């Protein structure tokens, strides 16, 4: 592996690496990552040349790109950079995921607090109004809010939002004595026949 000069990172500029080729590595090779090839980098360079109406010099032919890419280890450096970007991206998105889960969990707690507060006021309202008057917020609203709080927190824990009651069905086996007796009698008959045939000597060996 060639020695680096900046922060000891594999994709940093290498010792004695010309500015021209390091700049081309950063712009035309490193973005490809594991898909890098000298041909792809060179074609991207050609596209920029056409777009900028610049003239491609003879020294910029593909054969020179292949030579310099091999000399400065572009393939491995592009892969190292791709791996690092993957780790950084995963770390960032994991942190965002944890932050969002924490916010959702706190939202569930807040909703539960609102439900408890309104429920207490609801009961006080009914106790103070003996004439049967009911508050504008009904019990169904509290149930809906409580379910939303529960669903929100259950989703953060990757739990089902519907609580299913499962009951195991017990298999009842009925034993019929007469069937068992008949079966046992037939077995005895078969055993007797088997014993009598063997005792009489009537078998295939004596035919």
Q: Quick check: is 195 in a domain?
A: no
Give CA–CA dist 38/15, Å, rounded.
Answer: 21
Of 36, 62, 86, the last residue of a domain is 86
Q: Which of 55-59, 87-91, 196-200 has the lowest mean pLDDT?
A: 196-200
| Contacts of 39 by beta carbon, 8 Å cutoff, 6+ apart | 62, 66
Residue pair 110/152 in contact (Cβ under 8 Å)? The answer is no
Q: Quick check: is 49 in a domain?
A: yes
What integer pLDDT is reported at residue 171 of this predicted model? 54
Q: Quick check: is 165 in a domain?
A: no
What integer pLDDT is reported at residue 74 of this predicted model? 92
Same domain, 81 and 32: yes
Q: Quick check: is 10 in a domain?
A: no
Supply the range of the domain harboring residue 51. Answer: 19-86
Mean pLDDT of the region 45-55: 75
Q: Quick check: is 186 in a domain?
A: no
Q: Quick check: is 166 in a domain?
A: no
Of 156, 178, 194, the last residue of a domain is 156
Same domain, 39 and 68: yes
Q: Quick check: is 182 in a domain?
A: no
Same domain, 118 and 66: no
Same domain, 105 and 79: no
What integer pLDDT is reported at residue 176 of this predicted model? 45
Same domain, 64 and 111: no
Of 156, 172, 190, the last residue of a domain is 156
* C-alpha distances in Å from residue 187, one per residue of 118, 135, 179, 184: 75, 78, 12, 5
Same domain, 80 and 115: no
Same domain, 81 and 103: no
> What is the pTM for the complete model shown?
0.45
Backbone angles phi and psi of 95, in degrees to 5: -65, -40
Residue 68 binned pLDDT confidence (cut-offs 50, 70, 90): very high
Residue 70 pLDDT > 90: yes
Number of structural domains in the chain: 2
Residue 25 binned pLDDT confidence (cut-offs 50, 70, 90): very high
Same domain, 130 and 104: yes
Q: Quick check: is 46 in a domain?
A: yes
**Cα dihedral: 143, 144, 146, 148 (round 10):** 160
* Token reading at 20: 């021209």
């Amino acid at each position: 592996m060639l020695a680096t000069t900046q922060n000891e990172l594999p994709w940093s500029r290498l010792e004695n690496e010309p500015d021209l080729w390091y700049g081309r590595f950063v712009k035309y090779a490193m973005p490809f990552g594991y898909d890098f090839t000298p041909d792809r980098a060179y074609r991207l360079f050609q596209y920029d040349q056409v777009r900028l109406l610049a003239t491609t010099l003879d020294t910029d032919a593909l054969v020179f790109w292949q030579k310099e890419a091999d000399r400065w280890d572009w393939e491995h450096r592009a892969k190292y950079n791709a791996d690092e970007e993957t780790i950084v991206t995963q770390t960032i998105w994991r942190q965002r995921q944890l932050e969002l889960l924490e916010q959702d969990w706190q939202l569930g707690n807040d909703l539960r607090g609102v439900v408890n507060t309104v429920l207490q006021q609801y009961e006080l309202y009914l106790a103070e109004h003996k004439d049967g008057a009911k508050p504008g917020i009904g019990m169904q609203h509290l149930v809906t809010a409580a379910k939303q709080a529960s669903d929100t927190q259950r989703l953060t824990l990757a739990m089902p939002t519907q609580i299913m009651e499962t009951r195991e069905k017990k298999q009842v086996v009925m034993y019929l004595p007469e069937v068992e007796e008949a079966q046992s009698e037939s077995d005895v008959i078969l055993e007797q026949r088997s014993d009598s045939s063997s005792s009489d000597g009537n078998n295939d060996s004596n035919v």
